């Protein structure tokens, strides 16, 4: 999964509509202590590879994207931009052939960290 994670992040960073707003502030699992808003946190929820006699060949992974900002409108806008940029993508991503399906999951004010959070779930169907 590690190579797919790297490939997914690299794919997101290639989308100028996203990087125009977050630059390279797209993190796996742990956000930098000094992260500037807005930013995106990526978390692998599931990874279900399928195997045959020669090893892994196809699979399905689910990645959660947590989008953070201190303004609700900006957070919602960035979420829409990410959804549009990723939804329905089919093609090469690193060494993988992939298909992406994006779902909205949740929207919330995170009182403990004093910012808005939107959650997208991306299902990645892949073949090696």
d(Cα 18, Cα 82) in Å, to the nearest integer?
6
Question: CATH classification of 2-127 is 3.30.310.40, yes or no?
Answer: no
Half-sphere exposure of 53 (CA within 13 A, CB side): 0
- The confidence score (pLDDT) of residue 56 equals 64
- The confidence score (pLDDT) of residue 84 equals 96
> pLDDT > 70: what percent of the chain?
96
Global pTM? Answer: 0.90
- The confidence score (pLDDT) of residue 106 equals 81
- The confidence score (pLDDT) of residue 57 equals 75
Q: What is the mean pLDDT of residues 92-111?
A: 89
Q: Write the pLDDT tens digit of every residue in 22-76.
A: 999 999 999 999 999 999 999 999 988 777 767 667 899 999 999 999 999 999 9
The residues facing 44 across adjacent strands are 63
- Tell me if the bond preceding 101 is cis, omega within 30° of 0: no
């Amino acid at each position: 999964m590690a190579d797919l994670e790297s490939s997914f992040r690299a794919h997101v960073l290639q989308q100028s509509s996203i990087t125009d707003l977050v630059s390279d502030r797209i993190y796996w699992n742990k956000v930098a202590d000094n992260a500037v808003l807005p930013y995106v946190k990526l978390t692998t929820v599931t990874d279900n590879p399928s195997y045959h006699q020669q090893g892994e060949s196809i699979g399905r992974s689910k990645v959660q994207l947590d989008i953070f900002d201190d303004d609700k409108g900006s957070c919602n806008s960035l979420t829409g931009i990410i959804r549009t940029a990723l939804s329905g993508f089919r093609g090469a991503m690193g060494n993988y052939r992939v298909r992406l399906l994006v779902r909205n999951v949740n929207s919330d004010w995170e009182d403990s960290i004093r910012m808005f959070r939107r959650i997208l779930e991306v299902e990645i169907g892949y073949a090696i």
